[in-house]
Structure 1
Amino acid sequence: MSTATGRYKDVLLSLFAFGSTALILILAASIVARLLPAMQSLNLDFILKLPENGGRGGGIYPVIVSTVLILIISLLTALPFTIGVLYYSFINRHRNSVLLTLINTCIDLLASTPSIVFGLAGYAFFGVYLGFGYSILTGAFTLAVMVLPFLIRLSLDSIHALPEDYTLNSAALGLSTYTAFFRIIVPAAFPALVVAFVLGSARALSETAALLFTSGYSLRMPESIFDPGRTISVHIYDLAMNVPGGEQNAYKSAAILLLLILVIDGLSQFLMKKWREKGLCK
């Protein structure tokens, strides 16, 4: 009886895995089918030209510049906080730390907060209270707070997945906690940390709601990080929902967004390969 039950469970799990894979492939194929005509009509003019007629014509060069600036600033802002939480978690891994419990609770709370709430709170604090207004800086700082729990949770999981031998051997060699963390633990978990930041980049690039209230709608080329700027995701939303006749450029912009994510992923894989060859990571 138990053998038959086990077989039924194996069959059900196999069917579930097959169905999930098939669903993912169908969704991916539908996205490619919708974007393929737009990708075939992509050219350098669309990437390097300024928008025309409210985005219906021309290119998306200012949008790409704003997107890259917001992404870089947000990740650079989130990086030291992520490393700080990882280090504090490492040194208190065997202690019942109240502060660590509070940090984990805040991470879970932030991770479950709707993005529109981040947008309103980000504009109220960074835009109004700190006086940045609608700007790339306001959008980047808001996005940093949004992706921070995502980055911290994935990075913590990668650190906790390491064998305890790394820590024990470091202690046996008399290494300080600082040296053990930055010379042993971080290099060992580095590939997983890179994956966490790549996924964080994809999460940041796809965000729309929070940036509507922080970085603004401007199609002009930003002259500084204090100017408003429109990201690609916001541009796609605006063309699809608010601009009659903008559907074709919306699909083109979506194709550019997917290509940008693929470029980031490919670059991270290339850098990890080079770092492994130089012995900078495991």
Structure 2
Amino acid sequence: MAETVPVKSAGIHRDRFAQLTIYIAAFMVCAAFVWILSDIVRGGVAHLSWSFLVDAPRDAGRAGGIGPILVSTVLVLLVALTAALPLGWMTAALLAEYVSADSTFGSAVRYSLQVLAGVPSIVFGLFGNAFFSIYLGMGFSILSGGLTLACMLLPILVSTGEAGLRAVPDAYRLSAAALGMSRKTTLFHLLLPAAAPSLAAGLLLGIGRAVAETAALLFTSGYVDRMPGSLLDSGRTLAIHIFDLSMNVSGGDASAHASALVLITALLLINIAAMRLTAGWQRRKIVPE
């Protein structure tokens, strides 16, 4: 009995040390976020106003606002999600529910996605410029930039969607089969709602990647800061605008900080809205009324 006490004491100390380490790591992550956010707020909040959100930029962005920039950003994001979401989630459902985990076809698709995820964004930009802008004749346009971003989002959407579907317990599938439900009905009415958190996580990661992208869009959507008239017009996204003000425009730091503050605020609002919509969707689909 005397030898048991030191062993238990050592185990308690190890648990406390591990817990303290986790708390310190979480605190450092939060501190880094607060530090970055406070720096952006301090540099850009004085420049932020309603006119800044709706006016067109003037004097290379030093004056005016970001109205056309916001419109171009939203359009590029909508094009990317419209093209990538159906293809990505259908591929995830195919890999998780209709293809064996150790099949040659499934392994080839997963390997292709891993390679695609590791390709630098500048390479996507060169590909988008060569294929969408030049070969398909779209030029420097919002459509070309959005389709290039869609190619970049596919690995994120497919991997998170497949992981979420595979995490759904097999009891769902067995119960549906016992009730005579088809595989399509089971997928849309049971599995996808159960995997909604993973799908939402992939969607949020994709939105964050698309909104913050610069290198790929420099070669596809272009650099023009005027209001786009159609999807075939060139349009400067918010990330490119921040990059240009910070690197190429002297005296543009205040506008760059204000634009970055708008970008972070938009991402936070999108995250909050997506999490609430996902929680509501799960309650409606899984919990009987």
TM-score (norm 1): 0.92
Q: Which moved more, 1:173-182 or 1:31-40?
A: 31-40
Deviation beyond 6 Å, 4+ runs, structure 1: none
Which residue does 1:140 correspond to in 2? 146
Which residue does 2:119 correspond to in 1? 113
Q: State the secondary structure of the residue aligned to 1:229.
A: coil
Which residue does 2:217 correspond to in 1? 211
Cα RMSD (Å): 2.0
**1-structure distance, mates of 2:147, 2:11:** 51
Instruction: Sort the Cα spacing of 1:185 and 1:208 in 2 relative to 1 into closer, same or farther, 3 A.
Output: same
Tell whether 2:26 aligns with 1:21: yes
1:197 is aligned, of 203, 208, 212, to: 203
Which residue does 2:185 correspond to in 1? 179
Which residue does 1:36 correspond to in 2? 41
Q: Is the 8 A contact 1:90 1:181 kept in 2?
A: no
Which residue does 2:3 correspond to in 1? none
Q: How does 1:226-265 map to 2 (within 5 A)?
A: 226-265=232-271
2:88 is aligned, of 46, 67, 82, to: 82
**1-structure distance, mates of 2:133, 2:14:** 54
Which residue does 2:67 correspond to in 1? 61
**1-structure distance, mates of 2:17, 2:216:** 40
Q: Is the 8 A contact 1:52 1:59 kept in 2?
A: yes
**1-structure distance, mates of 2:237, 2:126:** 17
Quote the offset at 1:183 in angstroms: 1.5
**1-structure distance, mates of 2:16, 2:126:** 48
**2-structure distance, mates of 1:11, 1:135:** 56
**Percent identity between the aligned chains?**
38
**2-structure distance, mates of 1:263, 1:87:** 28
Quote the offset at 1:117 in angstroms: 1.0
Larger Rg: 2
Q: Is the 8 A contact 1:190 1:281 kept in 2?
A: no
Instruction: Sort the Cα spacing of 1:95 and 1:111 in 2 relative to 1 into closer, same or farther, 3 A.
Output: closer
Q: State the secondary structure of the residue aligned to 2:111.
A: helix
Q: Is the 8 A contact 1:191 1:281 kept in 2?
A: no
